[in-house]
Amino acid sequence: MKKTEKNNKVPTIAIVILICAAAFFFLSKEQEIKPGKIESPEQSSDYKHLAMNLQVNAENALKEIEHLTNYNNCVEKLTPLFHKARNQINNSSWESAYDLLVSITNECNDVLISHQYNIIKQNFSNVWVNADRKLLMKLFNENIKSIGGKVKQAELYCSSDSIILYQTAYDELTNIILHTADENQKNKYNDLLNKAVTYSKQKKWFKAKNVAQQAIATGYQDSSKAEKLLEKIKTQFVPEIGSELSIDLGNGVMMEFVGIPPGNFKMGDIQIAGDSDERPVHNVNFQKGFWMCKYEVTQKQYQQITGENPSSFKRSGENAPVENICWNDAKDFCERLSDKTKLEIRLPSEAEWEYACRAGTTTKYCSGNEENDLKRTGWFLDNSGRQTHQCGLMAPNAFGLYDMHGNVYEWCEDRAHTSYDDAPDDGSAWVLGSDLRCVVRGGSWSLSARSCRSASRIYNSPEHTSSNNGFRLILVVL
């Protein structure tokens, strides 16, 4: 470092050191750097005191730069000078020791300044490289130009002033990026909120719900409108008598669900007209409602999801129930449809099926006790013409469900049990037991009226296929 006159050099050094100390305190991210303060002597007798103190400061400064990379040459250069200054102190050459220690301390401080300059420059460069500069220029053109000016000025020389300029540029750029992110977040939130409102007006409740949740998930600080909208949308998913939901399977193919309200009922052979496996009659309580397919799964719906139509009665039309379906096929369809729609879709439990079929009735059929009553609501041996028919041609039950009697048997989630002893009373599926057969309910086009009763139940292996067997679904929303 170039030497200057004593009485001019020392005040200048003090100012530089103070500036550096402030810069290091605020800017260092790797370590806390505190270079020693250099006091200037007022008279010759002060050199001893100052040299002794400066020896400690110089030693600490050397220790600081020993921990830094790329400065080994500087350490190797200054260490012998420090030992020389220490020998001068031992020989009471106070003024010479003082001058040498000032030189050592200043060079150490220059190294620390250079190191800190490189850190803040790298920090700025990292942010600048990763920033979307075109977007920043578009939104904050004048601010970015100002930052660029500071950087150019800082790069002219390496000093504490440069550090301050780079730090200011870094802070300003960071603030602009954060502000841009806030603006982007706000714009994204508003776009999603508007989409959710549009879907709500169109009564596309699933899309409205998903998009409203996405709006809230943006993290925008004031998401109250989206939260209120979501609460309003959720009321549409409360299953009530007369409420309906639809899901889009693609290519204009829809699947409709009706709301089944909470309640309780007596499950089993209330009329004493069935078999022993329909007893004992027991109470089942549904604390929550659920959503059930308005119709049996049709050939068109099955084809849309699986790309296949295994039905024997294709002549009945694409809106007739799909059949020749085993339990495993029905489960696979549920999984595929759930993956496609991102919704939880499953087979009904046996209790859900009977509760939905009865729809508040205690008669053999949801429409009464006589076979003529059944003819109004279901296709069975006496009226089917020995084939399936398009879904929805018969009268619905009180919950708005079609073809719960006849047309095709419908798979349930439950395993077979030869009585209702120890059956669940909460409506859940009864899947425990050693019998691996699965339950089908509702009767079919080829069977008598007795097999189509609300309480009737039979069992097939999970692999069993038949033109009698189809299924309908449960949609889990909340």
Q: Residue 41: its pLDDT value, please?
A: 59
pTM, two decimal places: 0.65
Angstrom distance (rounded) from CA 302 to CA 402: 18
Half-sphere exposure of 307 (CA within 13 A, CB side): 1
Task: State the sign of the Cα–Cα–Cα–Cα dihedral 199, 205, 211, 216.
Answer: positive
Angstrom distance (rounded) from CA 215 to CA 219: 8
Mean pLDDT for each consecutive 10-residue tract of the chain (478 residues)? 36 35 38 48 69 84 78 81 86 86 85 82 80 69 77 75 82 77 85 95 90 93 94 91 93 96 97 95 97 98 98 98 98 97 96 98 97 98 98 98 98 97 97 95 98 98 98 91
Domain range 244-476, its CATH number among 3.30.70.270, 3.90.1580.10, 1.10.10.10, 1.20.120.160: 3.90.1580.10
Q: Residue 248: its pLDDT value, please?
A: 94
Partners of 266 in the β-ladder: 283
Partners of 285 in the β-ladder: 264
Backbone angles phi, psi at 291, to 5 degrees: -115, 130
Angstrom distance (rounded) from CA 274 to CA 272: 6
Q: Residue 15: its pLDDT value, please?
A: 33
Tens digit of each residue's pLDDT (9 = 90 or more) over 231-271: 999 999 999 999 999 999 999 999 999 999 999 999 999 99
Angstrom distance (rounded) from CA 169 to CA 167: 5
Q: Residue 215: its pLDDT value, please?
A: 95
Distance of CA 423 to the CA centre of its chain: 38
- Structure tokens that stand for 123 in this block: 């920090």
Q: Name the residue type at position 104.
A: I
Nearest-Å Rg of the Cα atoms of the chain is 41
Domain boundaries, the chain: 6-130, 182-237, 244-476
Q: Which helix (H) or strand (E) holds 264?
A: strand 263-267
- 166-174 long-range contacts (CB < 8 A, ≥24 apart) are 166/117, 166/120, 166/121, 166/124, 167/23, 167/26, 167/27, 167/120, 169/124, 170/120, 170/123, 170/124, 170/127, 172/143, 172/146, 172/147, 173/124, 173/127, 173/128, 173/131, 173/144, 173/147, 174/127
SS3 120: helix
Contact 69, 114 (CB under 8 A): no
Task: State the sign of the Cα–Cα–Cα–Cα dihedral 451, 453, 459, 464.
Answer: positive
Q: Which helix (H) or strand (E) holds 65?
A: helix 46-66
Could you tell me which of 103, 92, 116, 81 has the C-alpha nearest to residue 4? 103
Q: Residue 43: its pLDDT value, please?
A: 53
DSSP string, 34-53: -PPPPPPPSSTTHHHHHHHH
398 Cβ neighbours under 8 A, 6+ residues apart: 241, 359, 360, 361, 366
